[in-house]
Structure 1
Amino acid sequence: MGGPAAKKQKREDYRASLNIAQSENAVAKLPKKSFYRQRAHANPFSDHALTYPSRPEDMDWREHYPDFVVDGKVDRGVEIADIGCGFGGLLFALGPVFPGTLVLGMELRTSVTEFVQEKIKATRLQAATTTKESNPNNYTYSNISVLRTNSMKFLPNYIFKSQLSKLFLCFPDPHFKTRKHKARIVSSTLTSEYAYVMKEGGIIYTITDVEDLHVWMRERFEGCSLFERVGEEELEAEGDECVRLMREETEEGKKVGRNGGRKWIACFRRGRDPEWPV
């Protein structure tokens, strides 16, 4: 009979075979989610044995974006971040829309992060072997990557002040119980941290299928003087495709759509820093 140990061995055997196939330059196969399943959410306050840089300048991005390495280091910084990226649906949608921009997914769950890493590796290999007819824009997925980290604790360890132009918070854990609200990805404290990493005019995009959480996030951002709410229509008029991508391309967004659920969206623009009194 197959118990937890047998299932674990099956997963490990599958992942090993996937790595061997890719290392031998065989036809790259996309990983199967069924071998990377994990609990829907992780406790951000648990000890997850993470390694992280002491400061952004100590982070080595070369293995994440090897095609952008010039003179031994990546020649540009990450501009778009998807916090809690899950299985990476939005990453793979954003990459082709912003081909010269580095896009980073941040995810706490180990197996889910491994899935995205393997999918990026496979899609890069596939892109390298496609013809110009099937890939006319010669897009290689070289500008997207993912890392396992706890962004609630370590976002400023990776991202400089005023570095990001876009940040996504898609279908975060609602933490329904009042005593769990401190674990929500948006809080009065964290909005200040998001303001720190966002450049002036940058946009934070939020989406959820839980109205209570939507109201919570909206109130926290509206309570921060460094953000102002911006409507979906205004963004679309500016040619911003991100709201559509966030609504349609995330795995959770697709599931909510299949079930006929409602998606609550709120976007916020980073304002100008207040002038210091002389």
Structure 2
Amino acid sequence: MAETTQETPVDANEEDFMPQKRHYRQRAHANPFSDHMLQYPAQPSDFDVASHYPAFKDSGKRPEFADIGCGFGGLLIALAPLFPDTLILGMEIRVQVTQFVEDRIAALRIKQKSEDVKDPVPGKYENVSVIRGNAMKFLPNFFEKHQLSKIFFLFPDPHFKARKHKARIISPTLLAEYAYVLRPGGIIYTITDVKDLHEWMVKHLEEFPLFESVDEDVLLREGHGGILEAVKTSTEEGKKVARNEGSKYLACFRRLPDP
């Protein structure tokens, strides 16, 4: 059966020049096992950093944060001014949603360069970008070993039916790839409003030998409060759960040193 088309309401505080979600209609979910005719680099060194982050083209920097399934880019936009010198990359498989995030970042960059901005955002959103990609298939094509310090899985598709659990973004096989691209000490952030999915992700992460659970209080003491707040509140799904007074289940895991 075909999936229904999702139309997202326009944010009330969006300015006229900003892209509006109603013009980017897209199915709510995409099958990660389908052939989506994706383009991807043969190896991470082929990833064109300069085209995504022109302000950093001579810096030698590469993306350090990855938002897997970034949706409409809420987390990217929230983290950009908090980490103006860190490159942040969103990965999204849906065509129109990826285009929306591209246009949103471009509009924000233009706005920040205009003379009428009294309090410019640190970094001016030059440190964030998005690619259309499938992390379940091509993550190592984009990121070197231990390149990332943070990976985010915010409100991923729950794939409720048991026969579709293999499509969940957290699985033993995929965790090996996340451990490969995440440096020791790096953090995986997961959040969902589906308790069954939360328990699934926690179970598999706890069973994987290169990750250990880290309490929210510990992360707060380590200065991760801004990130945790963005994880909980910045995404469209997170805002929808809050409006509906639903529960949010957060779980964070630290990458252990290699044996």
Give TM-score scaled by structure 2 length: 0.92
**1:69 shift after superposition:** 1.0
From 125, 135, 141, the counterpart of 1:157: 141
Asked if 2 retains the 8 angstrom alpha-carbon contact of 1:96 and 1:141, the reply is yes
Residue number among 20, 29, 32 corresponding to 2:20 in the alignment: 32
**Amino acid of the structure 2 residue aligned with 1:194:** Y
Number of equivalent positions: 244
* AA at the equivalent of 2:63: V
CA distance in 2, matches of 1:60, 1:92: 21
CA distance in 1, matches of 2:20, 2:162: 36
Residue 20 of structure 1 is matched in structure 2 by none
SS in 1 for 2:217: helix
Q: Structure 1 residue 272: deviation in Å?
A: 0.6
Counterpart in the other structure of 2:155: 171
Q: Which residue of 2 aligns with 1:233?
A: 217
Unaligned runs of 5+ in 1: 1-26
**Residue equivalent to 1:12:** none
Determine the C-alpha separation between the residues in 2 that align with 1:236 and 1:251: 23
Identity of aligned residues (%): 57
Question: Is 1:54–1:157's contact at 8 Å kept on the other side of the alignment?
Answer: yes
State the Cα deviation string for residues 229-252 of structure 1 (Å, max 9, x = none): 001111011110211111011110
Deviations 1:19-62 (A, max 9, x none): xxxxxxxx981100001121111000011001111110111111
Match of 2:107 among 97, 103, 122: 122
The answer (yes or no) to whether the contact 1:44–1:183 under 8 Å persists in 2 is yes
Q: For 2:177, give the aligned amino acid.
A: E
Is the 8 Å Cα contact of residues 111 and 117 (structure 2) preserved in structure 1?
no
Q: Counterpart in 1 of 2:63?
A: 78
Deviation at 1:98, TM superposition (A): 0.5
Partner of 2:167: 183
Between the aligned partners of 1:200 and 1:224, the Cα distance in structure 2 is 14
Separation in 2, partners of 1:59, 1:132: 32
Structure-to-structure mapping, 1:259-278, within 5 angstroms: 259-274=244-259
Query: Counterpart of 1:62 in 2: which secondary structure?
Result: helix
- Partner Cα distance (1:219, 1:243) in 2: 21
Provide closer, same or farther for how the CA distance between residues 141 and 28 of structure 1 changes in structure 2, counting only shifts above 3 A: farther
- Cα distance in 1 between the residues matched to 2:83 and 2:116: 21
1:58 alignment partner in structure 2: 46
Structure 2 gaps, min length 5: 1-14
Task: Say whether residues 1:99 and 2:84 are aligned partners.
Answer: yes
Radius of gyration: which is bigger?
1
Stretches (4+) displaced over 6 A: none
Per the normalisation by structure 1, the TM-score is 0.85
Residue 269 of structure 1, CA deviation: 0.2
Whichever residue aligns with residue 230 of structure 1, its letter is: V
Question: Deviation at 1:133?
Answer: 2.9
Q: Provide the C-alpha distance between the structure 2 equivalents of 1:242 and 1:215, rounded to a whole number of angstroms.
A: 22
